[in-house]
Amino acid sequence: MPLLWVLRDVLGLTGTKFGCGIAQCGACTVHLDGKPVRSCLLPVGTVGSREITTIEVIGATPNGAKVQKAWLDREVIQCGYCQSGQIMSATALLDAIPNPDDADIDAAMAGNICRCKTYVRLCELSRLERHQPRYELCHAHREPGCQ
């Protein structure tokens, strides 16, 4: 059984979403020992005693709280379906690399699909720590105006 179903159906932690079921969209992202993983294909039996962090508790961590606050301040939310995976990926990035460059951001966020096309706001959010221009566009998603 995939970890996602244990989180959602057994434990009632429904913040982590089912998107594609093939680990390509990022909606099911959780942290396993601090690293982002796709829970839709991860067999629960392989988790063992490793630490699982979900969107329900990420706001209790310093970078998780920072990302969630910026998420609201920058009004990133559209439909909201992808947001838990996006927040988990952005938090893992800042945990691993406190001052990520464009390549780091693009690599960390490229595996998250947003059907509402909020990539401009997502990339803006990810670049907050570096004080990049407010409307800089994300290279990974090839939005109009990418350099």
CATH of the domain at 43: 3.10.20.30
**What string of pLDDT tens digits covers the 147 residues of the chain?**
999 999 999 999 999 999 999 999 999 999 999 999 999 999 999 999 999 999 999 999 999 999 898 888 877 777 888 899 999 999 999 999 988 888 888 888 888 888 776 666 666 665 655 544 433 334 444 444 433
Give the model's pLDDT for residue 145: 41
Is residue 103, in this structure, part of any structural domain at all?
A: yes
Task: Provide φ and ψ at 79, rounded to 5°.
Answer: -75, -25
Give the model's pLDDT for residue 128: 57
Query: What residues contact 79, with CB distance under 8 A and at least 6 apart?
Result: 115, 116
Give the model's pLDDT for residue 106: 83
Total domain count, the chain: 1
Q: How many CB atoms lie within 10 A of CB 14?
A: 14
Give the model's pLDDT for residue 124: 65
Is residue 145, in this structure, part of any structural domain at all?
A: no
Is residue 141, in this structure, part of any structural domain at all?
A: no
The domain of 10 spans 3-130
Is residue 147, in this structure, part of any structural domain at all?
A: no
Is residue 82, in this structure, part of any structural domain at all?
A: yes
Beta bridge partners of 35: 32
Q: Give the strand pairing for 29-32 and 35-38.
A: antiparallel
Is residue 80, in this structure, part of any structural domain at all?
A: yes
Give the model's pLDDT for residue 116: 74
Q: Give the strand pairing for 52-53 and 29-32.
A: antiparallel
